[in-house]
Structure 1
């Protein structure tokens, strides 16, 4: 397995154009963006006497939690990245959530924002309908589970009369297209949600053509979930028809707070 995966092509995915004359060949922009694979482990030990005297009922929930921890690992590592979007760079060298992403041809570059900073908890408007998502979970193989229970083959078991159970997995997370997400720490309300929607809908490629981005999900933590439900699910707000109803799907992510 490679120690890292290169995503240099993230810089530019051109659109089709009318075929007039010779083909126009686009060179995919190299941004030297890579995601380094990492290795994670989880190990627990159990006294051999507890197994021998059939006390597994005490430990079974712990073993189940070990498996659950491995299963949740991709989500937890991805959320660590998501919540750090305003402080970690993506392929263009700017933070993933930033106010001055460079867009345009050389000599005609403008700054584009996908971030509204404030004093509230983070919420994110995202387009998750495209093949490449805002965040990449780079899976490298499947988790490996190891049991050390035989004193003839394990020095630890022989010397400590203790069984060892462990799991390890390789993988990494990284940023995809910043254009697929809009982060905000301003208060979540109708005005800020509309502003984020309009900003994403206006995103263009380096040639000035719309990227056809249509937000599909509103990601919120527990602190914003009831406000988000009011905005997206209520038929009326303050006696008036709610024009934001069912605008996008609501996704509650407790780890976002």
Structure 2
């Protein structure tokens, strides 16, 4: 191929089409576990309510819920992936071998939210959420029926790989996916670009801007204890008993057990086997859906 601007623009158009094919072919998983929040600036401030909202009987004046005085801010991060194509490859009409790489570039860009969202669960053991406590913590502040401050736990301590019991039926999911800019394809394909002059390379890539954080801790329970029937039951029961301030039930119903590959077998034993080792019925069979996420280890 002759190296000139019209030919290079045509090549970029083809590579962009390959990128879009890869981008569109991916069926990602993150949207089930995270609420997407559009972002219009470098960061977003979330003045979350202190608890999940709920209706009440209207007696007298409206009861105004206080917005959390603490700031929960998520700063967008930049993401990129880049491929170099040598000028010699284009001159020698070998540019076609890079088309699958451009498709893989689109595939990788589409999978980046999965790679961001699922490890966020693991960060919940040592990263604050909106109430100033770690997302998975033993000391979330909640007011009891008398208005006295109490501490509520949504975690089990331990030394094993994390596993997570989730209620994904709520309008707001446990994780926030803050999306500033979706993946875009870009190219340095001018024959006069510095990369061509200095290194004989045309550069193609994708970039995006986003980040992740935590929503309501009440929709998730994290554990590093052994994934066995007693610990699963304790986590399930704890979530079922979560209350709003002043004692009204939150009606949390866990419906997903999220694990990494290490805990796959243990999770299957708990919720996918109809009978226990002794032959008796497994009361936890089918209680929740088991989801195995490779990003959790």
Fold equivalence (TM over 0.5): yes
Any idea what SS the aligned residue of 2:48 has? helix
Distance 1:110 1:179 in 2: 15
User: Cα offset for 1:137?
Assistant: 0.5
Comparing 178-187 with 53-62, greater Cα deviation is found at 53-62
Q: 1:13 touches 1:28 (CA, 8 Å); kept in 2?
A: no
Q: 2:85 touches 2:201 (CA, 8 Å); kept in 1?
A: yes
Match of 2:194 among 146, 152, 155: 155
User: Cα offset for 1:244?
Assistant: 0.8
Match of 1:234 among 263, 273, 276: 273
Point out where structure 1 has 5 or more consecutive residues left out of the alignment: none
Which string of whole-angstrom CA distances, capped at 9 and with x for unpartnered residues, describes residues 157-195 of structure 1?
Answer: 233221101111111101011111101111111111111
CA distance 1:161–1:196, shift in 2 (3 Å): same
1:246 paired with 2:286, answer: yes
Match of 1:204 among 243, 248, 269: 243
1:48-87 mapped onto 2 (5 Å cutoff): 48-56=87-95, 58-87=97-126
Point out where structure 2 has 5 or more consecutive residues left out of the alignment: 1-39
Match of 2:182 among 128, 142, 154: 142
Distance 2:282 2:220 in 1: 24
Structure with a larger share of its residues in helix: 2
Any idea what SS the aligned residue of 1:99 has? coil
Distance 1:244 1:256 in 2: 23
1:176 paired with 2:215, answer: yes
1:215 aligns with 254
1:122 aligns with 162
Q: 1:11 touches 1:31 (CA, 8 Å); kept in 2?
A: no
User: Cα offset for 1:60?
Assistant: 3.5
- Report the RMSD for the aligned CA atoms in angstroms: 1.8
Q: What TM-score results when the alignment is normalised by the length of structure 2?
A: 0.81
Comparing 13-22 with 212-221, greater Cα deviation is found at 13-22
CA distance 1:104–1:183, shift in 2 (3 Å): same
Q: What TM-score results when the alignment is normalised by the length of structure 1?
A: 0.93
Any idea what SS the aligned residue of 2:234 has? helix
2:203 aligns with 164
Any idea what SS the aligned residue of 1:236 has? coil
1:20 paired with 2:98, answer: no
